[in-house]
């Protein structure tokens, strides 16, 4: 067995729950976006996340300065000083946030979708990161640390701003990347698209998993704060964000062509990651 194969197997064996979430993401993403665009999202999200982590472990931008212990080097895949598993996690966290944003906003694209996606991703990290720095108390292990600690359960506030920024870049830039990697922008994508419902369920699956582990390691204050923050955010979103027929508008539940013309990557970013669909019959009337 080659060293690379051993490292791949070790990576999965060390973090099986991560790859379970990743598998759900692949299922949800291909059903929602189509295979090509799901692969584009995966590559783009992973690349952005790796660069953000590589930078943060050296300069502190954008997450704040932290260091991986590299205690598992030789047991799992690393790229430079960053575990591949960690950057890969951003793909399903970003997609889950993107899905929930589309579901709540009842639209598939736009500045509001980008903005809400990043904020939802940051809210996930409000639970994830404080739990991760306590990884020596559960099956994650102690994989990283903030040398100067942080005011929020050992996590610096800059970390949460960094997560929002990374979420905005991933979702905002996705449309441009998809056009560059999947070909003709006027081609109809995904004749059997199922929408973002499974992706939104993944969001709460990740949240419940992390809250459950928080309870298991005996952190009642962290559990209470995380639960209250998400409950308050859910109430706020459900109260103030527009919804259509208590679900999605036509352009998020049916297949639709991408725009025949494009303003390029910047236009795609402002478009919120998904191409604007053709008008539904009801809109034409």
Please give the C-alpha separations between residue 77 and each of 26, 85, 86, 144, 254, in angstroms, as whole numbers.
Answer: 20, 7, 10, 15, 39
Q: For the ranges 85-99, 102-116, 159-173, which has the lowest average pLDDT? A: 102-116
> Which pLDDT band holds residue 107 (cuts at 50, 70, 90)?
confident
What SS3 state is found at 87?
Answer: helix
Specify if 282 maps to a domain: no
Specify if 283 maps to a domain: no
Integer Cα distance of 235 and 238 in angstroms = 5
Specify if 281 maps to a domain: no
Integer Cα distance of 32 and 24 in angstroms = 12
Higher pLDDT, 68 or 2: 68
Specify if 284 maps to a domain: no
Q: What is the DSSP letter of 144?
A: E
Specify if 285 maps to a domain: no
pLDDT at 64: 96
| Number of domains forming the structure of the chain | 1
> Which pLDDT band holds residue 263 (cuts at 50, 70, 90)?
very low
Percentage of residues of the chain with pLDDT beyond 70:
80
pTM of the predicted structure, to 2 decimals: 0.83
> Which pLDDT band holds residue 255 (cuts at 50, 70, 90)?
very low
Q: What is the DSSP letter of 135?
A: G
State which residues form the domain around 42.
3-276
pLDDT at 244: 44
Nearest of 193, 171, 173 to residue 266 by alpha carbon: 173
Percentage of residues of the chain with pLDDT beyond 90:
71
């Amino acid at each position: 067995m080659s060293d690379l194969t051993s490292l791949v197997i070790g990576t999965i064996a060390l973090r099986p729950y991560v790859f379970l979430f990743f598998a759900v993401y692949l299922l949800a993403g291909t059903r929602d976006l189509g295979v090509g665009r799901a692969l584009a999202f995966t590559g783009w999200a992973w690349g952005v996340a790796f660069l953000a982590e590589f930078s943060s472990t050296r300069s502190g931008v954008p997450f704040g300065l932290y260091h991986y212990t590299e205690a598992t080097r030789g047991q799992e895949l690393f790229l430079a000083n960053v575990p591949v598993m960690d950057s890969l996690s951003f793909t399903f966290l970003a997609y889950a946030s993107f899905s929930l944003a589309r579901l709540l906003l009842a639209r598939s694209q736009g500045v509001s979708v980008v903005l809400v996606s990043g904020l939802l991703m940051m809210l996930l990290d409000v639970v994830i990161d404080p739990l991760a720095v306590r990884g020596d108390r559960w099956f994650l292990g102690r994989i990283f640390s903030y040398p100067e600690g942080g005011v929020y359960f050992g996590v610096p506030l800059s970390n949460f701003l960094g997560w929002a920024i990374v979420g905005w870049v991933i979702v905002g830039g996705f449309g441009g990347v998809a056009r560059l990697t999947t070909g003709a922008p006027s081609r109809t994508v995904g004749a059997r698209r199922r929408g973002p419902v499974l992706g939104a369920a993944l969001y709460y699956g990740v949240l419940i998993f992390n809250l459950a582990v928080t309870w298991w390691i005996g952190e009642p204050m962290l559990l209470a704060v995380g639960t209250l923050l998400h409950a308050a955010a859910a109430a706020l979103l459900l109260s103030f964000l527009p919804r259509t027929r208590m679900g999605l508008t036509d352009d998020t539940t049916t297949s639709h062509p991408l725009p025949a013309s494009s303003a390029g990557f910047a236009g795609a970013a402002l478009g919120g990651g998904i191409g604007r669909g053709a008008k539904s019959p009801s809109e034409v009337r």
